[in-house]
Chain A
Amino acid sequence: MMKIKKIIGVLSYRPRREFQAAKEQPPSTHGYDFHHSRGEFDGLSSPSTEVIIMRNVSIVGIGQTPVNEHWDKSLRELATRAVVGAMKDAGAGPDDVDALYVGNMASGAFTGQEHLGALVADYAGLQGVEAVKVEAACGAGGAAFRQGYLAVAGGMKDVVVVVGVEKMTEKLNGDATSILATAADADYEVDHGLSFVALNALLMRRYMHEYDLTHIDFAPFAINAHRNAVHNENAMFPFEVDESRVKTARMIADPITLLDSSPIADGAAAVVLCSADTARTFTQHPVRVLASSLATDTVAIHNRRDPLFLDGAAKSVAKAYDQAGVGPNDINFFELHDAFSIMAALSLEASGFFDRGQAVREAQNCEISRQGRIPIQTLGGLKARGHPVGATGMYQIVEASMQLRGEAGGAQLPNARLGMTQNIGGSGATVVTHILEAER
């Protein structure tokens, strides 16, 4: 199944391998018009409309480290372990890999190390490969995955590795809080003493006010995430919590308590992506990327059209549903960005699963559990698996792939065919949505 997209202009240069791949396409649909090219973007001066093929993309290998406080492991070691794990899972060697994308939020501030593209390529045994870091706050992992997807879908790369990595525990708590706050507006939020938790607390307080809820009404989000994490050997908190623990949890930024919050952690998760038509040369259980989309909203909450509705998420999922040709009722499970329980509620509403103001009530009715209408955080989510910020988007992709491959163990859903992931940068400013399908 080819998705044909009209664009103005074609790139004039393509590496030899992609040139050959393009020539192998049926002449009736291939759009690479090399004779046409003169400048770098020939089409910019040409009135003609070209047709370019978007290739289908599959995940053929997954790898991850446990999420934890890895005092004994460096950023480069975590990333290497995830990359090597994904490449071994795919049976891919270093020579197969055309590019590496590293999702990371703040390695410079957390560890004093930037330039992760080259660093991780070197240490992961991919010396010389094209490699670059992708940053979008806590949405970096999902954004990096999307860059890998675009590279393969557009025909520029055949096999890419994407890794999300974050090493947060080098810093003490107050420093980590300051670094996380760089996802917010430095001049107009953070300088006024707002931590990232405080910004989410403002949303949660207003949500409680609008919809007549109390703090304990949000307990099902933490309870569900922890219950599912019990079956995830890579989760940071694989234990259950009950309502009494939620009630007595330590206050962080009123009304957000410790059990509304995801933990600071270290970790890395990776995948190998390739064009769908070559996927089975790597694996017998590829996972198809049916849709990939990224949308943005204002960084500062005070500039949103409506702070209680994630416009960025609504735009992101609308594009994803459209690309995949599905709707919320077709999705079997949803790995969303529960950095705080309020974010889980807002994400479910903006993504079309529940009406506005209903997500907390639906969670109380067990509609987010494994047996519910839309199971979320099936392997623990950010809350209980842990939230190594720039790696989180890749953990979501890896966990969704485990569900679709039937490898989720005790957390396995019986009919996992279509899964959706949503990785959020900031308090809703970058929203990356992916829809994945098990290839039979």
Chain B
Amino acid sequence: MSMDLPRHWRLKQARYRLEGSHCEDCGHTFFPSRLICPECRSENVVAHQFGGRGRVYSYSTVYNPPAGYDEYVPYTVALVQLDEGPLVTAQLTDVDPEDVEIDMPVEMVTRRLRQYGEDGLIVYGYKFRPAWEAA
């Protein structure tokens, strides 16, 4: 499988800053970014950086990974509901699978997602780790 270099470069704002979009017409905020608002179909859409805090909506632990992720098995993936509303699909980190619970508060961190072989590209991006609840 190729390294898809331009694709990973292109996704940097989403991967490193959790940048999605905000619709100036209907006020809807969504992730990932799109050219057209999925709520009202307006094209009046601007970039929006999410705060990176949310709660676990659902989770699973992967034992049979896709090619390229074998070295990380078992790892825990989740749907995280951001405080601003949207769901994000991401891995959980710094937590044992058996300690994960639905509604657990989490926060975004930047971690290695995968590496394309010994000399290949290392892909970084967002993962989520347990967070203390905001007072």
Contacts and interface: CB of A to CB of B under 8 A. Distances in A.
A355 B36 CA distance: 33
A259 to B, nearest CB: 14
B101 to A, nearest CB: 9
B131 interface: no
A254 B70 contact: no
25 contacts: A173-B64, A174-B65, A185-B89, A187-B11, A187-B32, A191-B11, A193-B69, A193-B75, A193-B91, A194-B66, A195-B65, A199-B89, A201-B60, A202-B59, A202-B77, A205-B58, A205-B60, A209-B58, A251-B63, A252-B63, A252-B64, A254-B61, A298-B38, A301-B79, A307-B87
A174 B70 CA distance: 9
A192 B113 contact: yes
A252 to B, nearest CB: 5
B102 A195 contact: no
A189 B64 CA distance: 16
A298 B64 CA distance: 25
Contact of A193 (B32, B58, B77): B77
Interface residues of B, number: 40
B111 to A, nearest CB: 11
B16 to A, nearest CB: 13
B88 A202 contact: no
Contacts of B69: 193
A197 B64 contact: yes
A173 B77 CA distance: 20
Interface string B53-79: 000011111111111111010010111
A364 B63 CA distance: 28
A302 B65 contact: no
A206 B102 contact: yes
A196 B28 CA distance: 29
A206 B77 CA distance: 13
Given A198-B60, A201-B60, A302-B79, A188 B32 contact: yes
Interface centre among A188, A191, A197 (most CB of B within 10 A): A191
A178 B67 contact: yes
A250 to B, nearest CB: 8
Contact of A205 (B31, B65, B87, B102): B102
A344 interface: no
Interface string B77-98: 1110000001111110000010
Interface residues of A, number: 37
B105 interface: no
B57 A189 contact: no
Contact of B66 (A181, A209, A251, A298): A181
Given A187-B11, A205-B102, A209-B58, A192 B91 contact: yes
A164 B7 CA distance: 32
Contacts of B62: 193-195, 197-198, 253
B58 A202 contact: yes
Interface string A246-260: 000001111110000
Interface in B24-68: 30-32, 38, 57-68
A78 interface: no
B58 A203 contact: yes
A28 interface: no
A188 B63 CA distance: 20
A177 interface: yes
Give 8 nearest A-B pairs by CB, closest first: A201-B60, A302-B87, A206-B58, A178-B66, A174-B67, A254-B61, A202-B58, A178-B67
B79 A253 contact: no
A366 interface: no
A404 B57 CA distance: 43
B1 interface: yes
A307 B86 CA distance: 12
Contacts of B86: 302
A300 interface: yes
Contacts of B30: 303
B65 A254 contact: no
B60 A209 contact: no
Contacts of B130: none
B40 to A, nearest CB: 14
A206 B125 CA distance: 25
A175 interface: yes
Contacts of A189: 89
A193 B61 CA distance: 11
Given A188-B32, A192-B125, A193-B72, A255 B66 contact: no
Contacts of B123: 191
B102 A209 contact: yes
Given A188-B32, A193-B72, A253-B61, A177 B102 contact: no
A190 interface: yes
Contacts of B31: 302
Interface centre among B78, B79, B89, B91 (most CB of A within 10 A): B89
Nearest to A181: B66
Contacts of A193: 62, 65-66, 69, 72, 75, 77, 91, 113-114
A201 B57 CA distance: 12
A151 to B, nearest CB: 31
A288 to B, nearest CB: 38
B60 A254 contact: yes
Contacts of B102: 205-206, 209
